[in-house]
């Protein structure tokens, strides 16, 4: 298979024009060995974490599909650490849609003049460009439309779909006495032009607390899968 993209936590291989394979890595985003789902670089590596992230992703994508939410998943091979997915087209060169239920991390770094740690945010959703060179800048609805990255209809769908997905995941985690703080999702269009959820949903792209303490990816994954 042809390697077509090397990401921070996954590599992507072409199977054919309609299907690609994601190969999950053991790397996690963060800085100086500290995990941070909002970071823009690899901060640590945990042996076996790729397969664990794949298992969590497979679990959540199955859960969402059962709730009639369309995803890019075709099939998963947990032993090989791979997931075959539809070859979807991202919006622009990629967007990250982030739902923040509480103020932490980069939200505090940006808005600390007004925001306090763990301040409720009433399911606030923001969008950033996938642009390492410019540190994944925030982008407004107006700019997305002006630049031709999204239509107004697509924008409204991404916001509403993100809230729906986040609520489903938050409800599941709450049943395990876990508190979802924020989560990062990605979308693209499939061959039929439908907007579907793409990429992964794992401990690597969400922040979750238990009894007021942030869970590290390994511990969170075990709690989700057990």
Q: Identify the three-state secondary structure at position 70.
A: coil
Confidence at 29, pLDDT banded by 50, 70, 90: confident
pLDDT-based confidence at 8, cuts 50/70/90?
confident
Task: Find the helix or strand (DSSP H, E) in which 54 lies.
Answer: helix 49-66
Looking at residue 212, the DSSP 8-state letter turns out to be T
Which uninterrupted H or E stretch holds 141?
A: helix 141-146
Q: Name 222's bridge partners.
A: none
Per-residue pLDDT tens over the stretch 139-195? 999 999 999 999 999 999 999 999 999 999 999 999 999 999 999 999 999 999 999
Spatial CB neighbours of 16, under 8 Å, sequence gap ≥ 6: 87
Whether residue 226 is predicted with pLDDT greater than 90 in this model: the reply is no
Our CA angle for 168, 213, 61, nearest 5°, is: 25
Q: Which residues contact 108 (CB under 8 A, 6 or more apart)?
A: 115, 116, 117
Residue 148 gets the label, from left (phi > 0), alpha (psi -120 to 50) or beta, of: left
| Residue 204 or 76, more confident | 76
- Distance from C-alpha of 109 to C-alpha of 53, rounded to nearest angstrom: 27
CB 189 within 8 A of CB 183: no
């Amino acid at each position: 298979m042809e390697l077509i993209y090397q990401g921070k936590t996954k590599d992507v291989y072409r199977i054919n024009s309609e299907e690609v394979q994601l190969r999950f890595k053991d790397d996690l985003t963060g800085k100086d060995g500290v995990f941070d789902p909002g970071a823009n670089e690899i901060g640590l590596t945990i042996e076996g974490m790729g397969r664990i992230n794949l298992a969590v992703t497979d679990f959540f994508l199955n859960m969402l599909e059962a709730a009639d939410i369309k995803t890019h998943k075709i099939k998963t091979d947990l032993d090989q650490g791979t997931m075959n997915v539809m070859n979807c087209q991202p919006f622009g060169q990629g967007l990250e849609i982030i739902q923040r239920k509480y103020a932490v991390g980069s939200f505090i770094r940006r808005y600390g003049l007004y925001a306090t740690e763990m301040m409720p945010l009433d399911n606030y959703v923001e969008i950033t460009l996938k642009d390492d060179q410019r540190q994944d800048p925030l982008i407004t609805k107006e700019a997305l439309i002006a630049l031709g990255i999204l239509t107004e209809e697509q924008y409204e769908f991404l916001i509403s779909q993100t809230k729906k997905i986040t609520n489903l995941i938050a409800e599941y985690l709450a049943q395990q006495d876990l508190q979802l703080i924020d989560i990062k999702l990605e979308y693209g269009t499939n061959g039929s032009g439908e907007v579907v959820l793409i990429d992964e949903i794992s401990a690597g792209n969400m922040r979750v607390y238990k009894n007021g303490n942030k869970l590290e990816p390994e511990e969170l994954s075990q709690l989700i899968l057990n």
